[in-house]
Structure formats: structure tokens, C-alpha cells
Amino acid sequence: MKSWTFGRKLGVGFGLTVLMLLFVGAVAYRSIDALIENNKRVTHTHVVLDKIATTLSLVKDAETGQRGFTITGDLAFLEPYEVAVGAIPTEIAELRRLTADNPRQRSRIDELEVATRGKLAHLREAVDERRAHGLEAAAKFVQGGAGKQHMDEIRRVATLMDQDERLLLDQRSAAAEEGARGAKLTVGLGALVSLFLVTAAGVLITRSLGTQLGAAVTSIRSSSAELQAAATQQASGSREQLSATTEVATTIRELLATSRQITDSAQRVTRVAEETLTGAKTGSGTVQNARESILAIKRQMDVVVGHMLDLGKKSQQAGGILDLVNELSEQTNILAINATIEAAGAGESGRRFSVVADEIRKLADRVGGATKEIRGIIDDMRAAVNTTVMATESGVKAVDAGASRFADVTSSFERIASLVGTTTEASREIELSTKQQASAVEQVSSAIGNVAQATRESDASAKQTLQAASELSELSRSLLRLVDHAAT
């Protein structure tokens, strides 16, 4: 038993107590159950006695009602008789049900039923006789003695049934009293035995636990002292760690602020570079558009020069045609002159022909004059075309030079855009690196914050541990005093 644990010792002690209480409870339950059953039987016997008395009383009521009616002839006296006639069969049936487990009583109930039927039949005949033949005839019928014989038989059977039931009542009452005494005795003895066992188990367990608790309390006091020392050392280390963590957190915050400033500067550089790149791209686009416009002008001027050259060729062709027309007009004029001469030689018959020839000559002169005017115009136009071609060629050369310069400008803008793009990418990489560095610094700051929080929690835990160690030491002293008091 010395090697048993606290729980096992307490379990055995309480187990014995519970087993004894269960035994006492079981015995008490059986005794009380028997007592209840005996009381039910006693109550049942009282009910049977009441039913016997009620049946006998109803027969007497029927007889009293018959007598009153026979003497007075008043139907009001028949009310008890009518009530008894209806109630007696019910009471006898109830008696038969209540005594179903008693053969002798069932036999007597049969006798009682026969006697009551005979009595009620005799009373019915007396009532009929009074109604039919009057008082004297009814009195003679009653004086015959049959009704008294039935009543004596009813009383005899009822008396025997009452005696048997009262004998059963005495037996059952005695059994109930005996059961009650047995239950009281059992419960009393069980309580005394349970008290003895509980007291003995308590004393044994207290002594055994006192010895073990004394050793345990001594060990607890030693452990609590060591725990106090460790908690004190832990609290000191936590405070030093908290101070160092605070300094590191301050440095990290300053580094984070610097990283954020670098990030802001890199963002500004990136924005300026992006704006410059946008301007360079816009200027390059503008120059490219201007170059394309100049090239379009050059192409149009080439087309104009081509048209001018075609126009010069056409004017030369027109000059050739005019020479031919002029030659034809001169020949026509010569022919007209010849015709006029021939008409003059022909006389009167050739006069009309002379008029026509004169008109043809005039027309030829006018055609020659117009041809000269047209030639002058064509010559002027050819001169203007030549001048225009020369001016256009000069413009084409100027356009070529401008296009070449625009190409140089476009190339310069493209180099500027490339350099600005490189600068933008570099500034973005700087910004990204700075953001990553700031994120890393924030993570380090968060980690330092967590370390600081953990250090504060460790310090609080050390304080709680120190307080718990103090309380444990005080508790061990209190337990030791209790153990010493229990041992004495």
C-alpha cells in the first residue's frame, strides 16, 4: 500500500465507501419495496371490507325502501330500493375482481350473489303485491318469512367474508410492521458499518498521504527555490535583451526612413526620365512627320517637274503644229492671191469667185496673225516652263538637303530617346532595389518588433514564474504545516 499513488488510495477508500453504501441501499430498497407491497395488500383488504359493508348496506337500503312503500304506499320510499337494485350487481362484480386471487372468497361471493338475487326478487314481489292488492296482502306476503331467510343468508356470508378479510388484514399488517422493523434495522446497521469503514479508510489514507505529502512538499520547496533563482536570472536576461532590442529597433527605423527617402528620390528621377523620354519620343515623332511631309513635297515637286517637262514637250509639238498651220496659211494666202488674179482675168464670171478668194485670203491672214500670237504665247509658256523647271529643281535640291538634315535630327532624337530609356530603366532598377531593400528593412523591423514583444512577454512570464515560485513556496510551507498537524 505504501507504493500506491494518491489517486489509487483515494479511489480505494471511496470505492469501499461506495460499495457499502450500494449494499445498504440495495437492502433498504428491497425492504422498502416489500413494505410498499405489504401496504398495498393492507389497503386492498380495507377496500374489500368496504365493498362487503357497502353491499350489505345496499341490501338493507332496498329492504328499508320496500318496507316504507309497503306501509305507506308512497312511491318516494322506493328510491333507496331502486338505487340498491342498480348498485348491488356492480358492487358484487367489483368484489369478484378484488378477490380474484382468493378461491374461498370467490366461492362465498357466488353464495352472496345468489342470496342477494333471492332477496331482491322477494322485495320486488312484495312491492308488486302492495301495488296490486294493498297493504294487507303485502303484509301477509312479508310475514311468510322468505325475505328474512334471504337476509340471514346474506348476513352470514358477509360475516364470513369480513372475518376472512380481517384475518388477512391482521397478517398483512403484521408483515408490514415486520418489514418496517427489518428495514430500519438494516439501514441502521448498514449506516454504522459504513461509518466505521469510512472512518477507518480516512485514518489510513490520511496517515499514508501525510507521509507521502511530507516528502513531496519538501521536494516542492526545493524545486520552488530553484525555480525562483532561475526566474530571477531569466527576468534579468530578458531586461537586458529588451534594452538591446530597443536600440536595434531604433537603428532599423532610421535605416527604414533613409531607404524610403532614397525610394522617393528614385521615383522622382524615374518620373523626370519618363517625361524626358516622352518629350524625346514626341520630338522624334514631330521631326519624322516633318521629314515625311518634306519627302511628300519632294515627290510632288518631282511630279510637277515631270508635268512641266511634258508641258515643254507638248509646247514644242504645238510649235511644230503652228509652223505647219502658218505654212498652210501662207500657201492658202498665195492660193487666194492666185485665185484673185485668175478671177480678175476671168471677168464678170469670175467676180464671185474673186470675192470668195478674197475672203479666203483674209482668213488666211487672220490665221497667220493668230498663229503668230499663239507662237508668242507658246514661247512665253516654254520660257515660263523652263524657269519653273529650274526653280523646281532648286527646290528639290533644297528639299533633299532639308530631308537629310531632318534624318540627322531624327537620328539624334532616337539616340536621345535611347539614352533616356536607359536612364529610365536604371532609375527603375534603383527604385525597385530600394523598395526591396525597404521591404527587407520593414521585415527586419517587424521581426525586431516581434523579438521585442517576445522579450517583453518573456520578461512578464519570468515575473509570473517568479511570483508562481513564491506562491508555490508558500503553498509548500502551508502543506507542510497541514501534514505535520495531520500526523500529530
- Residues 214 and 357 reside in one and the same domain: no
| Residue 297 domain-assigned (yes or no) | yes
pLDDT score, position 273: 66
Residue that terminates a domain, selected from 226, 261, 288: 226
Whether residue 484 is predicted with pLDDT greater than 70 in this model: the reply is: no
Residue that terminates a domain, selected from 198, 226, 254: 226
Summarised one tens digit per residue, pLDDT across range 461-470 is 767 877 877 7
In this structure, the dihedral spanned by the alpha carbons of residues 22, 27, 32 and 33, taken in order and rounded to 10 degrees, is 100
| Residue 74 domain-assigned (yes or no) | yes
CA distance 193 to 25: 13
Summarised one tens digit per residue, pLDDT across range 339-351 is 778 777 776 766 6
Question: Of 310, 309, 308, 363, which Cα lies nearest the Cα of 332?
Answer: 363
Place 197 in a pLDDT band, splitting at 50, 70 and 90.
confident
CA distance 319 to 228: 132
Whether residue 486 is predicted with pLDDT greater than 60 in this model: the reply is: no
Q: Return all residues near 126 (Cβ < 8 A) that are at least 6 apart.
A: 66, 70, 138, 141, 142, 147
- Residues 294 and 418 reside in one and the same domain: yes
- Residues 175 and 310 reside in one and the same domain: no
| Residue 461 domain-assigned (yes or no) | yes
- Residues 334 and 204 reside in one and the same domain: no
| Residue 1 domain-assigned (yes or no) | no
Whether residue 215 is predicted with pLDDT greater than 70 in this model: the reply is: no
What percent of the chain is predicted at pLDDT more than 70? 78
Q: Which amino acid is at 292?
A: E
400 in Cβ contact with 239 (< 8 Å):
no
In this structure, the dihedral spanned by the alpha carbons of residues 18, 24, 27 and 28, taken in order and rounded to 10 degrees, is -120
- Residues 261 and 277 reside in one and the same domain: yes
**Average model confidence (pLDDT) across the chain:** 77
Whether residue 193 is predicted with pLDDT greater than 80 in this model: the reply is: no
- Residues 205 and 338 reside in one and the same domain: no
Of 185-194, 208-217, 222-231, 378-387, the poorest mean pLDDT is in 208-217
Calculate the CA 478 to chain-centre distance.
52
Summarised one tens digit per residue, pLDDT across range 52-81 is 889 889 888 888 888 888 888 888 888 888
Residue 193, domain extent: 6-226
- Residues 252 and 332 reside in one and the same domain: yes
Whether residue 89 is predicted with pLDDT greater than 80 in this model: the reply is: yes
Residue that terminates a domain, selected from 226, 252, 284: 226
Q: Return all residues near 176 (Cβ < 8 A) that are at least 6 apart.
A: 35, 38, 39, 42
Q: Which residue has the higher pLDDT, 278 or 421?
A: 278
Whether residue 322 is predicted with pLDDT greater than 80 in this model: the reply is: no
Q: Which residue has the higher pLDDT, 56 or 392?
A: 56
- Residues 259 and 161 reside in one and the same domain: no
CA distance 194 to 115: 61
Sign of torsion over alpha carbons 9, 10, 13, 14: negative
Whether residue 487 is predicted with pLDDT greater than 60 in this model: the reply is: no
| Residue 71 domain-assigned (yes or no) | yes
Report the range out of 28-42, 116-130, 261-275 with the highest average pLDDT: 116-130
- Residues 311 and 272 reside in one and the same domain: yes
Rg over CA atoms, the chain:
76
pLDDT score, position 3: 66
- The grid cell for 325 is 498651220
| Residue 329 domain-assigned (yes or no) | yes
Question: Of 217, 143, 200, 138, which Cα lies nearest the Cα of 12?
Answer: 200
User: What integer is the mean pLDDT of 290-295?
Assistant: 74
| CATH value at residue 238 | 1.10.287
| Residue 78 domain-assigned (yes or no) | yes
How many domains does the chain divide into? 2
- Residues 478 and 350 reside in one and the same domain: yes
- Residues 163 and 242 reside in one and the same domain: no
Report the range out of 80-84, 202-206, 255-259, 419-423 with the highest average pLDDT: 80-84
| Residue 35 domain-assigned (yes or no) | yes
- The grid cell for 250 is 531604433
126 in Cβ contact with 147 (< 8 Å):
yes
pLDDT score, position 94: 92
Give per-residue burial for 102-132: e unless 16+ CB within 10 Å, then b: beebeebbeebbebbebbbebbebbbebbee
User: What integer is the mean pLDDT of 171-190?
Assistant: 78
- Residues 221 and 268 reside in one and the same domain: no
